[in-house]
């Protein structure tokens, strides 16, 4: 086949076809418009494959050199924007190979020895995704650092802690922020775990059954740094599985969806807290937008949009899971549909993490508003019950007694701490003057000095732990 013939895709795969491809079918089946994004991984994988072919004596040294030169040229053309992507050549793999063949002649045509687009695309996606996971891991660290910083500034700030969105108990605002740090640290762990399974080499599986050439798959894996923690090469051990499963992409998207879900929870809180009814925080103007009709409006569009984009990523997860369901072994063209959801998941997550690290740094906390709200909901009722337990009452009885006290306070429209001692003593004679320390928000906060609790002393220890863990 001459290199000009390779320009015609129908001939690129086989002389078997006597009719040109239907135009609509060509557009329907082509993936180059989106998979050209994999070009770097495609070249990296080809270079590793060619190096191994030469080392194994499957191609000659001069052919290997010509392939390296040609691929360097292709890389330069793509980087400068001068590369002409052709729909006729279907996908990123055939586009690059065709240009290489124009540049390197027969050597270019030897690159595909012992390889199929099936193991090639699986390799490319894994290489690309591995790089993206590393970027995402760094962004997750940035976000955690930003949250630790705002936590540290607000350890002593009292926020009404909610259950069922009803005031429950006072908590440190710092403690609340660190809850998100825990979530994002688990997201980072999940990414690292997924990375291990992404970082495994399909090349050598060829179309589905392996190949008759004496390939050294472990050599290729080492060249591509597809190695485990001990530096041992990771090679997919079954050719049928290697070319066909996309569970690594599904796992990644599941981890990404969880990270987005955590962002959406934080978003929801930011939106609530910024509303006039709460007034707990302000978000920097540069992260908000106005209304075209209501001049007074400042809207928290960024967290709202992040909440919305979470749906999109969860949707991609559903798409990918469904894509895999019921697929017979081995490769099926269905798998071409893995790319757009995967790409969009990566883009959405990266943008969202980036913007949130900055947004968190620009939050203004309003301690007075938070404290006032915390003092309204009988948030220290549990503390009164605990006080009675210390007097010897069983907890269930103490709970009942305090419920009566809260009822009385509600009917007088006052807080528990505003009931006179004589009134409190009607509920239990053991109540003394020291009860008022217990009924204060700060007393309640300080009392929760248990590992993982909201007492400022505990929160400071956690901040210390995170700082060491995050290296900041
Ligand atoms: N563009 C294809 C994909 O993304 C590459 C593999 C094509 N293989 C094939 N046998 N048609 O899956």
Residue 287 alpha carbon to ligand 1 centre in Å:
42
Cβ-Cβ contacts under 8 Å for 128 (sequence gap 6 or more): 37, 38, 40, 41
**Pick from 331, 140, 152, 141: which is nearest to 239 by CA?**
331
Indicate whether residue 42 lines ligand 1 (CB < 6 A): no
Label residue 66 exposed, middle or buried (CB < 10 Å: 0-12, 13-18, 19+).
buried
Beta bridge partners of 172: 158
Average pLDDT over residues 249-277: 98
Annotated catalytic sites, by residue? 164, 291
Indicate whether residue 115 lines ligand 1 (CB < 6 A): no
For position 4, what pLDDT does the model report? 52
For the ranges 86-95, 315-324, 376-385, the lowest mean pLDDT is seen at: 376-385
Entry pTM: 0.94
The predicted-structure confidence for 327-380, as pLDDT tens digits, reads as follows 999 999 999 999 999 999 999 999 999 999 999 999 999 999 999 999 988 999
For the ranges 4-18, 176-190, 255-269, 311-325, the lowest mean pLDDT is seen at: 4-18
Helices (H), 275-380: 301-324, 339-361, 367-374
Residue 358 alpha carbon to ligand 1 centre in Å:
40
Alpha-carbon distance of 378 to 394, in angstroms, equals: 21
Q: Which atom of ligand 1 is nearest to the CA of 92?
A: 1
What is the phi/psi pair of residue 57, to 5°?
75, 20
Which two three-digit tokens encode residue 463? 């901040």
For position 3, what pLDDT does the model report? 47
The architecture (CATH level 2) of 3-113 comes to Orthogonal Bundle (1.10)
The architecture (CATH level 2) of 119-152+173-366 comes to Up-down Bundle (1.20)
Place of tokens 């969202």: 352
Place of tokens 């309003």: 366
**Pick from 155, 246, 177: which is nearest to 446 by CA?**
155
Cβ atoms within 10 Å of 333's Cβ, excluding its own: 8
Which two three-digit tokens encode residue 461? 């220890």
Q: What is the mean pLDDT of the chain?
A: 95
Indicate whether residue 336 lines ligand 1 (CB < 6 A): yes
The architecture (CATH level 2) of 375-470 comes to Orthogonal Bundle (1.10)
Domain boundaries of the chain, sorted by first residue: 3-113, 119-152+173-366, 375-470
Residue 331 alpha carbon to ligand 1 centre in Å:
8
Among 26, 30, 35, 121, say which to mutate for ligand 1: greatest number of ligand atoms within 8 Å of CB. 121
Indicate whether residue 95 lines ligand 1 (CB < 6 A): no
Indicate whether residue 415 lines ligand 1 (CB < 6 A): no
For position 13, what pLDDT does the model report? 62
């Amino acid at each position: 086949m001459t290199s000009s013939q390779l320009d015609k895709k129908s001939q690129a795969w086989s002389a078997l076809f006597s009719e040109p491809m239907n135009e609509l079918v060509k557009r329907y089946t082509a993936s180059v418009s989106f998979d050209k994004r994999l070009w770097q991984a495609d070249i990296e994988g080809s270079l590793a494959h060619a190096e191994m072919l030469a080392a194994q004596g499957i191609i000659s040294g001069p052919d290997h050199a010509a392939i390296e030169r040609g691929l360097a040229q292709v890389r330069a053309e793509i980087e400068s924007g001068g590369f002409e992507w052709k729909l006729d050549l279907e996908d990123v793999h055939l586009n690059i190979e065709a240009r290489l063949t124009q540049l390197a002649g027969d050597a270019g045509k030897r690159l595909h020895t012992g390889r199929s687009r099936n193991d090639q695309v699986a390799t490319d996606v894994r290489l690309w995704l591995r790089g993206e996971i590393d970027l995402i891991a760094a962004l997750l660290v940035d976000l955690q650092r930003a949250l630790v910083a705002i936590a540290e500034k607000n350890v002593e700030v009292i926020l009404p802690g909610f259950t069922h969105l009803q005031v429950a108990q006072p908590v440190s605002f710092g403690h609340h922020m660190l809850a998100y740090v825990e979530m994002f640290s688990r997201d980072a762990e999940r990414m690292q775990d997924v990375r291990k399974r992404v970082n495994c080499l399909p090349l050598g599986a060829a179309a589905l059954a392996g190949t008759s050439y004496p390939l050294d798959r472990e050599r290729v894996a080492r060249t591509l740094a597809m190695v485990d923690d001990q530096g041992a090469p990771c090679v997919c051990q079954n050719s049928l599985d290697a070319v066909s499963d996309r569970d690594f992409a599904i796992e990644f998207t599941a981890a990404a969806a969880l990270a987005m879900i955590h962002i959406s929870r934080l978003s929801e809180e930011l939106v609530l807290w910024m509303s006039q009814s709460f007034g707990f925080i302000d978000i920097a103007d540069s992260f908000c937008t106005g209304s075209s009709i209501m001049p007074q409006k400042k809207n928290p569009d960024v967290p709202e949009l992040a909440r919305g984009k979470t749906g999109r990523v969860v949707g991609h997860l559903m798409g990918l899971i469904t894509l895999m369901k019921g697929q017979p072994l081995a490769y099926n063209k269905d798998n071409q549909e893995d790319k757009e959801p995967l790409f969009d998941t990566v883009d959405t997550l990266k943008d969202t993490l980036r913007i949130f690290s900055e947004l968190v740094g620009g939050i203004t906390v309003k301690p007075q508003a938070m404290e006032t709200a915390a003092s309204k909901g009988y948030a220290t009722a549990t503390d009164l019950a605990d006080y009675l337990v210390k007097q010897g009452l069983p907890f269930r009885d103490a709970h009942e007694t305090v419920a009566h006290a809260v009822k009385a306070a509600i009917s007088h429209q006052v807080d528990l701490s505003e009931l006179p001692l004589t009134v409190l003593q009607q509920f239990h004679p053991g109540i003394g003057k020291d009860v008022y320390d217990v009924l204060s928000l700060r007393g309640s906060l300080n009392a929760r000095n248990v590992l993982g609790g909201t007492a400022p002393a505990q929160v400071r220890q956690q901040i210390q732990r995170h700082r060491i863990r995050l290296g900041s």
